[in-house]
Amino acid sequence: MNLPGLLYRVLEVDIKPLQDEVKNLTDILSSSLPVGPQGPQGPATGINFPYIFDASATTQGDPGDGYIRVNNGDNSLVTQTYISIIDALGANHYSLFNFLNSSPFFITFSDENTSNVTIFSVNVGDVSIVMNTELIMTPKYEYASINATYISGVSTYAQSTGLFAALSVGGTGPQGPSGPSGPSGVQGPEGVEGAEGAVGPQGPQGPVNAAAYDQANNACTQANAAYNAANTVSWVSVPATSTSEGTAGDVAYESTGNLYICVAENVWSKFIGTTSW
């Protein structure tokens, strides 16, 4: 659909007399004809201007006179819109965009079906009007770069879709009530085991079992006696020969420093010593 061409042809015709005649006929027939079905919804409210959607690029730049471009192929992810200062009818809207920069406003795109609507919100100061500085003698403002926040609407428009851009001033309405809580999620995995705690204080001593105590005490006494017997040196007289009478473990010494140890029954070993150092 060639929207600019169609709109230009409509504007070239003086339709005022035709409108007056239609109104007169409507007044005459309205009293006798039944009421027809309601017509389709018109374009979004606000100040409406015709444009053509440019889906060929998402980069910032002049979309061209009469065109609109956005910075993402998915409208829900759009953060900037680029709207030509000149609309599809050739009208210049520099003053309007400059005025809107002082207030929060909404941009609503709707196609000719008026059911494919997309709404963006714009904060104060988020409109930048870009000038073509290459035209040294006659520089001109080309497009408005607008930081926009997606509110709702369709995901995309096809290339060259004819759109109405509705600009409506107003801030965001009050926040609605909180919705009901959703269902609980699945339980997460068990966490890691914590560090071992400190050792607690010693508990009180339990009652003594007298019989067990006496048995343990006797065992300890016998063990001590055996240990003492095994570790007690048996000092005897100095043997006359290496085969003198003796019991393994007997020890003898003499003042000269010699030491005698019985290493087996009637078997002695002699260690020569000295008192000199």
**Domain positions in the chain:** 3-21+41-169, 231-277
Distance CA 53, CA 249 (A): 116
Distance CA 59, CA 81 (A): 10
DSSP codes joined into one string, 182-196? PPPPPPPPPPPPPPP
Residue burial 153-168, b: 16+ Cβ < 10 Å; e: rest: beebbeeebbbbbbbe
CA angle, residues 243, 249, 255, in degrees to nearest 5:
75
The predicted structure's pLDDT at residue 133 = 64
Give the contacts of 265 (CB within 8 A, at least 6 positions apart).
246, 247, 248
pLDDT tens track for 109-149:
988 776 789 999 999 999 998 887 665 555 567 899 999 99
In this structure, of 85-89, 136-140, 266-270, the range with the lowest mean pLDDT score is 136-140
Q: Which phi and psi angles does 165 have, rounded to 5°?
A: -100, 115
Return the CA Rg of the chain.
55
Token pair of 196 as six digits: 């071992």
The predicted structure's pLDDT at residue 169 = 79
